[in-house]
Structure 1
């Protein structure tokens, strides 16, 4: 006999998530706005994400540039190393590192914070006092994560290009002028704009998942730990799917012009 309650639970969870997401978008444009909470959450997410972002960007960049430059040297096109570095940093390394950091650091911290508030019944107390927790807590976190996502991908891109320059010039004997000249060969404002749009979508999706898991937690401290683990898994899955879809759409839009 099929257990209908077990089948209905994930469907109900998906429905509750989209309902909370819709409520979040509606509350974004309704006063009062929680400016203080927004600033605090922006600093909080940036603080827990900044160092991991830099530490992840450097090895990703070096590995990518090393591989590309070996190929370019073999075919006698080492002067185009800047082109490969810019293309990799802007179109792939930036979004992928942003996915890893937002899912592994920002979203988990956000979920743990809201989960702790939920099991202490602070969320229920806010509802009793007539305060909408989505407007007071979720909206500032979603906007903060979206803004930090934009900043993170900008940092990854800058670190990637600078690291590529250092590695190419000082370790693979590429001339600085040739590296700089090749940066804009395949990467222009369109690719940069697509990179920023993808980063904003990553921050938006990760924060919505984290807030939903934090607000729907149950079972005490053990439930908070389970919600944090589930946030990491769901956020990784969602952001990589979004990255694939967004990249495919961007490539189609770029080459379809």
Structure 2
């Protein structure tokens, strides 16, 4: 049965949610089915990386700076300025970094995926592929989702480094912090699982961004306006899901992994 619907508002929210999960399950299942579209995957990876790497790096600098300045101001008022580095780094790595990457991938790469799939849908290319016995999910969607996931993981490392360096610079230069205290608190509070959960979040967020964009592209309204509306809806839906999933993952992580030194 096709995962597409003729109109998005025509069915209930529960049915739409179910079809979204069905598409996600199909993507996971067809990922391990041969043949794998290597060329499509490489092209989509390069495209998503090229449109997101510079904005991601630029956005990560003020994010790291704002977190460092806010945390530094708060710890200074409480007389715990020596913990600024650890608190800032944990906030950047665990929370800010994967969210920044996912939001930019959704806004840049996800919108392009939705527009591409949507334009193919209204031109009935998807129906033609199904008639020829070719799975549109395996041929077009799986490479795009995997590319978004890989780019998210790689960019998450870049954002973590840039954000931490930006926080260090602004804390030491603008707030008069001590470089040694910043680094010491970082090593005292941060631990390797913090990086693991950050990369896991980026991987899951990239999957969500790719699947939601593809799903809305498969279910646009009529004509170019319908595709444009689908792109807007995909970005909004992705943002809502990202923040909810981030809350769930953070709560689970804090329950499973004890804080360093506790």
What is the TM-score with the length of structure 1 in the denominator? 0.91
Offset, 1:209 = 0.7
- Counterparts of residues 160-199 of structure 1 (less than 5 Å): 160-199=163-202
Q: 1:141 aligns with which of 133, 139, 144?
A: 144
- Counterparts of residues 118-129 of structure 1 (less than 5 Å): 118-129=121-132
Residue 190 of structure 2 aligns to a residue in which SS?
Answer: coil
1:227 and 2:226 matched: no
Offset, 1:75 = 3.6
Whole-Å Cα distance in 2 between the matches of residues 150 and 8 of structure 1?
Answer: 35
Partner in structure 1 of residue 86 of structure 2: 83
Partner in structure 2 of residue 93 of structure 1: 96
1:151 and 2:154 matched: yes
- Structure 1 unaligned blocks of 5 or more: 1-5
Partner in structure 2 of residue 210 of structure 1: 213
Q: 1:57 aligns with which of 54, 57, 60?
A: 60
Q: 1:86 to 1:232 in 2, by over 3 A?
A: same
Question: Does the 8 Å contact 1:95/1:243 carry over to 2?
Answer: no
Residue 223 of structure 1 aligns to a residue in which SS?
Answer: helix
Offset, 1:7 = 7.8
Q: Which moved more, 1:166-175 or 1:70-79?
A: 70-79
Residue 134 of structure 1 aligns to a residue in which SS?
Answer: helix
Offset, 1:237 = 0.8
Question: Does the 8 Å contact 2:221/2:229 carry over to 1?
Answer: no
Question: Does the 8 Å contact 1:85/1:160 carry over to 2?
Answer: no
Question: Does the 8 Å contact 1:86/1:184 carry over to 2?
Answer: no
Partner in structure 2 of residue 19 of structure 1: 22
| CA-to-aligned-CA distance 1:11-37 (integer Å, 9 cap, x gap) | 332232222222211111110000111
Q: How many residues align?
A: 252
Partner in structure 2 of residue 10 of structure 1: 13
Question: Does the 8 Å contact 2:86/2:189 carry over to 1?
Answer: yes
Whole-Å Cα distance in 2 between the matches of residues 228 and 8 of structure 1?
Answer: 19
1:132 and 2:135 matched: yes
Offset, 1:196 = 0.7
Offset, 1:178 = 2.3
Whole-Å Cα distance in 2 between the matches of residues 162 and 84 of structure 1?
Answer: 14
Over the aligned positions, Cα root-mean-square deviation in angstroms equals: 1.8
Whole-Å Cα distance in 1 between the matches of residues 100 and 137 of structure 2?
Answer: 28
